[in-house]
Amino acid sequence: MLATFTGEGAMYSCAIAPDGVMLMAGDEGGRVHFLRLEGLRG
């Protein structure tokens, strides 16, 4: 695991953009979260 984040509800889907930096996650309320994966070491 490289990182975690907490939303207001359950996350049901996620995708990583081809650039490997942007992550999109969809939650149970229909919201889409956009997260930048910068500075993480694997």
DSSP 1-42: -------SS-EEEEEE-TTSSEEEEEETTS-EEEEE--S---
Which pLDDT does position 34 carry in this prediction?
93
Of 37, 14, 41, the residue nearest 27 (C-alpha): 14
The DSSP bridge partners found for residue 4 are none
Per-residue pLDDT of 1-42, as tens digits, reads 777 777 778 889 999 999 888 999 999 999 999 999 877 665
pLDDT at 5: 77
Domain ranges of the chain: 1-42
CA–CA separation, 15 and 35 (whole Å): 10
pLDDT at 17: 94
> What is the per-residue pLDDT for 31?
92
- pLDDT at position 25 is 93
